């Protein structure tokens, strides 16, 4: 195995150790880092929560999570046992300040045992309402103040709106330096998302055409086939704009639209991204209905099974106005993108799981081919398929073999599985957890980025909260409300509904 430098010794506290995120994502990621020898030589993980687990039944639960959710199948129980020796459950009620003494005690004990002061990471995998309270109590511990080796990771959603995000930033800033704060957006850890920077800035051939002179429109889709999945408590207060657009989708948009960074220094990359957010044209209240479409699913059939409409889901308010679908047309007011529409859409219970970005190019300036040769003509497109297909496709016209000049649109495809094999691709949370342990914040959101992203969506969110929607307006297993199709077809474009890659 390739030799690499491992992070310094670390004690990791997971608030929400007993919760779903730890089970599904965090522990499988940490276990994979352990298997790949990326965990520090000396590390200790404490899962925190009120549920009365013993270490043994906590380990059993985590093993179950790894078995179900890890990218690697066939978990080796003995190897997991080795990992589990570094993991404990710590009973802690976030509302009880006295319980936080257990944190200080554990850090001191590990420091004594290891003969060095460890890095201390607090991962807040809890509901957003608990974050300010936990952060405040952590801020009072002597081991947190101004110590570069102490870091706090805050899950999304970061705040509920611009105001609460701003307040949370101010609260965190009163206790931690910006370098200690890691605001996570797991899309930024996806291999295919990181590869956008490689595609754009490690190659000379794309950059000359990556602008308004050659590109006619950009679209970003994050379509899901799952519905609410029992998350009403969170989702009904949130909705698609807060849950997906404010964070994941705007981050994808930044990756596509940003200027070239001078270096991969965390702040340099984040400066370039925040420039994009600040350049997004503010949407006026009176324009929201022209540039944005919301949707909520009704009852229907998904994979042969009847499903209830969103408003009938357990825990959802009877006449809930929460949108499970959102589509928006943005413009970026800068030299590179002036006048180019960026269409984005996301939704639950859509026809296909697909996250992709498509850049549609302008027509060739002069077309010398006879009209009959171009019956199937389609514009050049570059599509970055983030998931579940992991590929990059370039569509161009090709001459069909034969004695006549007939042009066909064809795809040139770079496929990750073929090139690298999927087992080698780390999950987003592996990359991000390793980055936190290494102290690299490049893939994390800075305070100003989060606030700038909230500023972009707030006029839409507020308008939608203040007006009555016509819900439900799409059926599960469809591509969402009709109005979202019109949003793009009225401009002479069409959503790219990707099929699995074939040339």
Ligand X SMILES: NC(=O)C1=CN([C@@H]2O[C@H](COP(=O)(O)OP(=O)(O)OC[C@H]3O[C@@H](n4cnc5c(N)ncnc54)[C@H](OP(=O)(O)O)[C@@H]3O)[C@@H](O)[C@H]2O)C=CC1
Ligand Y SMILES: O=C1O[C@H](COP(=O)(O)O)[C@@H](O)[C@H](O)[C@H]1O
Binding residues for substrate: 186, 190, 224, 243, 348, 353
Candidate list 27, 152, 155, 322; residue touching ligand X; CB under 6 A: 155
Residues 6+ apart with CB under 8 A from 289: 463
Name the nearest CA neighbour of 355 among 320, 323, 396, 383. 383
Which of the following is catalytic: 44, 248, 463, 493? 248
* Dihedral sign, Cα of residue 193, residue 199, residue 200, residue 201: positive
**Which contacts (CB < 8 Å, 24+ apart) does range 134-139 have?**
134/15, 134/94, 135/168, 135/171, 135/172, 135/175, 135/176, 136/171, 136/175, 137/94, 137/97, 137/100, 138/100, 138/103, 138/175, 139/174, 139/175, 139/176
Positions in the binding site for ligand Y (CB under 6 A): 224, 243, 355
- Name which of 12 and 125 has its Cβ closer to ligand X: 125
Q: Is 248 a catalytic residue?
A: yes
CB of 130 to ligand Y, least distance (A): 16
CA distances from 469 to 246, 323, 464, 466, 474 (A): 20, 9, 8, 9, 12
Angle at 442 between CA 441 and CA 446, to 5 degrees: 70
In the bound complex, what is the minimum distance in angstroms from residue 185's beta carbon to ligand Y?
Answer: 8
* Residues 240 and 346 sit within 8 Å (Cβ to Cβ): yes
In the complex, what is the shortest distance from the CB of residue 348 to ligand Y, in angstroms, rounded to a whole number? Answer: 7
Binding mask 83-102 for ligand X (x = CB under 6 A): ---------xxxx-------
Residues 6+ apart with CB under 8 A from 498: 352, 354, 356, 383, 385, 389
Site membership for ligand X, residue 128 (CB under 6 A): yes
Query: CB 16 → ligand X: shortest distance, Å?
Result: 4
Q: Which is nearer to ligand X, 127 or 266 (CB)?
A: 127
- Which residue ranges are tagged as binding site? 50, 156, 186, 190, 224, 243, 348, 353
Q: Report DSSP letters for 258-281, one per residue.
A: PPPPSS--HHHHHHHHHHHHHHBP
| Contact partner, 426, from ligand X, ligand Y, none, Cβ < 5-8 Å per class | none
Q: Which sign does the torsion angle of CA 247, 153, 83, 18 carry?
A: negative
Binding of ligand X at residue 497 (CB under 6 A)?
no
40 is in the binding site of which of ligand Y, ligand X, none (Cβ under 5 to 8 A by kind)?
Answer: none
Q: Which does 413 bind (CB under 5 to 8 A by kind): ligand X, ligand Y, none?
A: none
Binding test (CB under 6 A) with ligand X, winner from 106, 127, 209, 394: 127
| Contact call for residue 353 and ligand X (CB under 6 A) | no
Distance CA 294, CA 471 (A): 9
Residue 243 binds which entry of ligand Y, ligand X, none, CB below 5-8 Å type-dependent = ligand Y
Binder of residue 224, out of ligand X, ligand Y, none (CB less than 5 to 8 A by kind): ligand Y
Per this entry, what is the length of the chain? Answer: 503
- Kindly tell me which of 48 and 484 has the beta carbon lying closer to ligand X: 48
Instruction: Provide the binding-site residues for ligand X, judged by CB under 6 A.
Output: 15-16, 18-21, 24-25, 49-51, 92-95, 125-128, 130, 155-156, 234
Active site residues: 248
């Amino acid at each position: 195995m390739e030799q690499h430098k491992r992070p310094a010794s670390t004690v990791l506290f997971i608030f929400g150790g007993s919760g779903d995120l730890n089970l599904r994502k965090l522990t499988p990621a940490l276990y994979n880092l352990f298997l790949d020898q990326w965990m520090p030589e000396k590390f200790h993980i404490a899962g925190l929560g009120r549920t009365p687990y013993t270490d043994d039944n906590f380990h059993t639960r985590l093993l179950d999570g790894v078995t179900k959710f890890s990218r690697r199948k066939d978990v080796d129980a003995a190897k997991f046992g080795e990992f589990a020796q570094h993991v404990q459950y710590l009973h802690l009620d976030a509302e009880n300040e006295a319980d936080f003494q257990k944190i200080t005690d554990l850090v001191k004990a590990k420091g004594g045992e290891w003969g060095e002061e460890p890095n201390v990471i607090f991962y807040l995998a809890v509901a957003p309402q608990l974050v300010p309270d936990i952060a405040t109590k952590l801020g009072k511990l002597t081991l947190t103040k101004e110590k570069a080796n102490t870091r706090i990771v805050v899950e999304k959603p970061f705040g509920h709106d611009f105001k609460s995000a701003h307040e949370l930033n101010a609260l965190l800033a009163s206790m931690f330096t910006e370098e200690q704060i890691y605001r996570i957006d797991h899309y930024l850890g996806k291999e295919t998302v990181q590869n956008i920077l490689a595609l754009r800035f490690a190659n000379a051939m794309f950059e000359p055409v990556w602008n308004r002179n050659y590109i006619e429109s950009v679209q970003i889709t994050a379509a899901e086939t799952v519905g609410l999945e029992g998350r009403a408590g969170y989702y009904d207060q949130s909705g698609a704009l807060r849950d997906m657009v404010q964070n994941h989708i705007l981050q994808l948009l930044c990756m596509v639209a940003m200027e070239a960074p001078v270096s991969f220094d965390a702040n340099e990359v984040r400066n370039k991204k925040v420039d994009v957010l600040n350049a997004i044209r503010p949407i006026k209240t009176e324009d929201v209905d022209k540039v944005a479409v919301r949707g909520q699913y009704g009852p229907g059939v998904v994979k042969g099974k009847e499903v209830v409409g969103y408003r009938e889901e357990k825990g959802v308010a009877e006449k809930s106005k929460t949108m499970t679908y959102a589509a928006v047309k943005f413009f970026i007011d800068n030299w590179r993108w002036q006048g180019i529409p960026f269409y984005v859409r996301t939704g639950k219970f859509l026809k296909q799981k697909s996250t992709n970005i498509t850049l549609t190019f302008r027509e060739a300036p002069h077309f010398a081919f006879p009209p009959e040769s171009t019956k199937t003509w389609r514009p050049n497109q570059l599509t970055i398929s983030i998931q579940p297909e992991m590929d990059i496709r370039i569509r161009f016209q090709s001459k069909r073999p034969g004695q006549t000049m007939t042009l066909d649109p064809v795809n040139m495809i770079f496929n990750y599985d073929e090139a690298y094999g999927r087992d080698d691709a780390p999950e987003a949370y592996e990359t991000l957890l390793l980055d936190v342990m290494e102290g690299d914040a490049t893939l994390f959101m800075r305070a100003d980025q989060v606030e700038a992203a909230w500023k972009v969506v707030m006029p839409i969110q507020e308008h939608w909260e203040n007006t009555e929607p016509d819900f439900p307006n799409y059926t599960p297993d469809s591509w969402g409300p009709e109005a979202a199709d019109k949003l793009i077809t009225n401009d002479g474009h069409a959503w790219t509904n990707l099929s699995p890659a074939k040339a």
